[in-house]
Structure 1
Amino acid sequence: MHPFHHAANTPDKPAVIMAGTGKSLTYAELEARSNQAAQLFRACGLTRGDTIAILLLNCIDYLPLCWGAQRSGLIYTCISTKLTADEAGYIVKDSGARLLIVSAELEGVARDLPEVAHRFARGGDIHGFARLEDSLDAQPATRIADESSGRDMLYSSGTTGRPKGIIGPLPEGPIDQPDALTGLVGMLYGFGPDMVYLSPAPLYHAAPLRYCLAVHKYGGTVIVMEKFDPEYYLALIEKYRVTHSQVVPTMFVRMLKLPEDTRANYDLSSLRGIIHAAAPCPIEVKEKMIDWLGPKIFEYYSATEGAGFTAITPQEWLNKKGSVGKSLLGEIRILDEDGNLLPPGREGRIFFHGGPPVSYHNAPEKTAEVTGEHGATFGDIGYVDEDGYLFLTDRASYMIISGGVNVYPQETENVLVMHPKVADVAVIGVPNEELGEEVKAIVQPRHWADAGPELEAELIAYARERLSHIKCPRSIDFDPELPRHDTGKLYKRLLKDRYWPKQPTA
């Protein structure tokens, strides 16, 4: 159901709680604030099909603004707060946004963004921007007369060039009509009105945003972390008796590297399920999470494009370790480099056939690159076993060809990240005159003082004990922090640029 139903039936129930500040909104307050947002959008002259851009840090107004756009028939584009002014400006311009909302803390970026018709700053003043809170307070909290269903248009994280706006048709029908995701999470994870959902990631990303909105459709409570911290995450589970959460594998790694007595210090018995996706999870990491929390770790594989969806329960995973499950949306097809279908057990590019169509805003050529007679691809490599379970190998763009042998760096990363002195790791191919490419690891040590030749030798030996030598790094560099997106995706392009000569431009 739409949150307006819960505002009528359970008006005093918490809908949103900010973990750091404790600020909260009841369902009645969420309904009022989203109505004020819708009224503001109409007062600015926005009508069904127009686009707004949201460049906000996690805050109490984030979800009400999205609900306000949803009930106004608008397209809302949520933008990463980690982008430069040039990167964010590209999205603002490409999306055709007529209204922009920015956190005052991002004033340095905001000043250099393209001009739009209506600009608002939240949490402080930015020259040339109206104060969002005052503008909302000036609006009535009643529903607009011409409600219709809007939707998000989110941009890919841009790991290989400019990001792409992922768009579909605006939904027809009333604003409270059922949608596929809401039904799916109810079936897979037992979402319901009694749930308490902990969201530790930035809301501008597809999964945190869409799952939080789905929780509101069920009438549950969303706890939003301003920023992920592994021990504080555990404390919040105990404090609010959290039932569900969604994380990325790097968060699992950070929790597992807490001292055992620290992890044992918190009561996590309220948990019914932790969902993870966004990046492949090392088998050993997931085994340790299940050993710790029990069979409560659920996984799915999809993308913002939504062309396909697989899911696996913890019980299934224990019998199919490393799998991301069977397809629930779209038929999985594995293709070789020439576009030929491959049988079970053979690695190739993963396509989903028969799922929802993929369309990129203002980019028909990019749409054509990922779609064809076999459906759509997210750019990942993997295989399907005889029982129909999908296993991911890596992204096609990350593959290393060393001496004519294909090396998928994910396997090497999965080994190295479990070393007790490693906080994070990326494995890439770098130029080698004889082999074409050689395997290199860039490691973020847990303690920077450990970085150096001794740790390099220790990690190379550690990898060679567990992998064939062709998959092991020949050398290791150290970095205080890897360029990783908050969703867990690694910007390997930025790392590769350090080692590969720039190609001359025409």
Structure 2
Amino acid sequence: MSGDVIVGDRIRGRAELLDRAARLARAMAAAGVGAGDAVALLLRNDFAVLEANLAVRRLDAYGVPINWHWHPTEIGYVLRDATPRLLIGHADLLDGLGAHIPEGLRVIAVGGTGEQPDYDDWIAAHEAHEGHGNGLGSSMVYTSGTTGKPKAVRRLPATGEESAQRARVLAVIHDTAPGNVALVTGPLYHLFSQAILMATFAAGGTVVVMERFDPEDCLRLIEQHHVTHGALVPTLFVRLLRLPEEVKGRYDLSTLRHVVHSGAPCAPEVKRAMLNWWGPVLYETYGSTETGVVTKISPREWLARPGSVGRPVLTGEVRIRGDDGQWTEAGRTGDIYLRIHGTPDFTFHGDPEKRAAVEYDGLITCGDMGWLDEEGYLFLCDRRADMVLSGGVNIYPAEVEAALLEHPAVSDCAVFGVPDAEYGEVLVAYLQSDEALIPDEVTAFLRGRIAGYKIPRHLVVGASLPREETGKILKRRLRESFLAGEARETGAY
């Protein structure tokens, strides 16, 4: 079983996967893909994601994973902007694109029966590619686009030592070893999920890939395959915790040793509940598409410092820059700047000025704010773009959200600012709850936890909040809905 990849009820061994990847590389080369070229990947969780990523590395080309949940116009934008030589996608996803596929772009369909060549047939028609590439390891990833069109982060070609350092970082982050059995729970177009797949496979471990997340199925797979490692976003913790106690106790999870969570803030009470259930196996990490993962914190460290996302790993560095533009001392809030030194650099595709703007003194900011304690542990406050200036005072919505999530009837929430004639901005809170919430009771609940000026002026209660598969709430959509008067307000104060 070691080295296998399991998707649903299908299994492919390591040797078969490597052979298919080598044949795919030859097919790509025959189609004109060479060093520095892009290959767009519109793929669900399937073997093809691993095979395609292995294949482009052999050619010193790079993959462009595309979020297949996006609207066809958004996917079309990526295909035009990235100018790939080739598009590989599942047939049903390709069928919905139509004219959004640029003219002249060659398309290969996984499970195709139509006009495009079938992926498996295409691989079978070629011999294995002999070369292994120069380890340039480039990539181009389009971020979520929560504030507009997706932005492309282009990883620059790496030197041999940079590639080796990146591999060492991933090994530390995911605790990779040949005997590991890793569970992939999220979509493989996201780097968080793709990282544990690629790192575990590279180390000779076994990977179990969920085609789509289901909380009870997650527990079943852990027991069935004796899963030792995993990677989940906090939203999935919430879904797991909602399972009935009888279901939670039905499965043996004792093989779990190391489960990474990242991608979105995790409410402290949610993490404590998961630690009480799964035991001391939850490791939190922090970084960005631009920098990669930079910090990590163990369960023991987190229990001693609730809310921290850890300290830098290996050659990582984190510093806080104040509003005066200078580095701050411990305990002061400011913009987070960070980097793993010795790993490949990046740029924003087609926007070198933006790339220059996010760097200061050799470190990179991704827009988050936070502070460091005396021992160098990082604590997050919020994104600078989400910070609200109300009545001349800075308010961090993440702090208000954490307080709201302590309410037993609030299962999810989003807090953001909207214009106000008197205060400049005031807070709006969208609450997800299956129960009727009384505004005065919510206000009283918050007054016991946060300062009065941080309590939202407007409450909107609904059945669900729009989230990406990665767990990030689409606040832009909620803000637009509120300002357009589309939301039914529950309370105003």
Using the size of structure 1 for normalisation, the TM-score is 0.89
Structure 1 residues 256 and 418: CA distance shift in structure 2, 3 A: farther
Structure 1 residues 285 and 181: CA distance shift in structure 2, 3 A: farther
Q: Give the Cα separation in 2 of the matches to 1:474 and 1:35.
A: 59
- Show the counterpart of 1:269: 254
2:105 counterpart of 1:117: yes
Letter in 1 for 2:75: A
Count of matched residue positions in the alignment of Structure 1 and Structure 2: 480
Per-residue deviation, residues 300-327 of structure 1 (Å, max 9, x unmatched): 1111112660111111111111111112
Q: How does 1:258-297 map to 2 (within 5 A)?
A: 258-297=243-282
2:55 counterpart of 1:68: yes
Per-residue deviation, residues 429-461 of structure 1 (Å, max 9, x unmatched): 12322222221111232x3xx3x5x45454344
- Show the counterpart of 2:329: 343
For residue 144 of structure 1, give the secondary structure of its aligned residue in structure 2.
coil
Letter in 1 for 2:459: I
Q: Give the Cα separation in 2 of the matches to 1:263 and 1:124.
A: 39
Q: Where does the alignment leave 5 or more consecutive residues of structure 1 unmatched?
A: 1-11
* Cα deviation, residue 181, structure 1: 3.7
Structure 1 residues 485 and 259: CA distance shift in structure 2, 3 A: same
- Show the counterpart of 2:26: 39
Q: Give the Cα separation in 2 of the matches to 1:251 and 1:285.
A: 10
Q: Give the Cα separation in 2 of the matches to 1:43 and 1:299.
A: 43
Q: Give the Cα separation in 2 of the matches to 1:375 and 1:116.
A: 40
Q: Give the Cα separation in 1 of the matches to 2:336 and 2:134.
A: 36
Q: How does 1:157-306 map to 2 (within 5 A)?
A: 157-172=144-159, 179-306=164-291
- Show the counterpart of 1:314: 299
Kept after mapping to 2: 8 A contact 1:307/1:330: no
Q: Give the Cα separation in 1 of the matches to 2:406 and 2:125.
A: 54
* Cα deviation, residue 249, structure 1: 1.1
* Cα deviation, residue 88, structure 1: 1.4
* Cα deviation, residue 214, structure 1: 0.6
For residue 93 of structure 1, give the secondary structure of its aligned residue in structure 2.
helix
Q: How does 1:81-480 map to 2 (within 5 A)?
A: 81-106=68-93, 107-125=95-113, 127=115, 129-140=116-127, 142-145=128-131, 147-149=133-135, 150-172=137-159, 179-306=164-291, 309-328=294-313, 329-352=315-338, 355=341, 356=343, 357-373=345-361, 375-445=363-433, 447=434, 450=435, 454-480=437-463
Letter in 1 for 2:55: G
Kept after mapping to 1: 8 A contact 2:171/2:199: no
2:441 counterpart of 1:497: no
* Cα deviation, residue 13, structure 1: 4.1
Q: Give the Cα separation in 2 of the matches to 1:86 and 1:297.
A: 38
Identity fraction in percent: 38
Structure 1 residues 308 and 102: CA distance shift in structure 2, 3 A: closer
Q: Give the Cα separation in 2 of the matches to 1:387 and 1:347.
A: 15
Q: Give the Cα separation in 2 of the matches to 1:285 and 1:260.
A: 16
Kept after mapping to 2: 8 A contact 1:358/1:376: no
Kept after mapping to 1: 8 A contact 2:32/2:85: no
Letter in 1 for 2:364: A
For residue 331 of structure 1, give the secondary structure of its aligned residue in structure 2.
strand
Structure 1 residues 181 and 459: CA distance shift in structure 2, 3 A: farther
**Between 232-241 and 145-154, the greater mean CA deviation after superposition:** 145-154
**Between 473-482 and 427-436, the greater mean CA deviation after superposition:** 473-482
* Cα deviation, residue 189, structure 1: 4.6
Letter in 1 for 2:9: G
For residue 252 of structure 1, give the secondary structure of its aligned residue in structure 2.
helix
Q: Give the Cα separation in 1 of the matches to 2:332 and 2:5.
A: 46
Q: Give the Cα separation in 2 of the matches to 1:108 and 1:455.
A: 43
* Cα deviation, residue 39, structure 1: 1.3
Q: Give the Cα separation in 2 of the matches to 1:307 and 1:33.
A: 28
* Cα deviation, residue 376, structure 1: 1.0
CA RMSD, aligned part only?
2.3
Kept after mapping to 1: 8 A contact 2:186/2:213: yes
Structure 1 residues 133 and 111: CA distance shift in structure 2, 3 A: farther
* Cα deviation, residue 409, structure 1: 1.0
Kept after mapping to 2: 8 A contact 1:400/1:409: yes
**Between 477-486 and 314-323, the greater mean CA deviation after superposition:** 477-486
For residue 182 of structure 2, give the secondary structure of its aligned residue in structure 1.
strand
Q: Give the Cα separation in 2 of the matches to 1:116 and 1:148.
A: 29
Kept after mapping to 2: 8 A contact 1:456/1:475: no
Structure 1 residues 360 and 116: CA distance shift in structure 2, 3 A: farther
* Cα deviation, residue 208, structure 1: 1.0
Q: Give the Cα separation in 2 of the matches to 1:426 and 1:207.
A: 23
Q: Give the Cα separation in 2 of the matches to 1:117 and 1:354.
A: 36
Per-residue deviation, residues 243-267 of structure 1 (Å, max 9, x unmatched): 0000111111221222223212211
- Show the counterpart of 1:54: 41
For residue 484 of structure 1, give the secondary structure of its aligned residue in structure 2.
coil
**Between 336-345 and 23-32, the greater mean CA deviation after superposition:** 336-345
Q: Give the Cα separation in 2 of the matches to 1:485 and 1:303.
A: 16
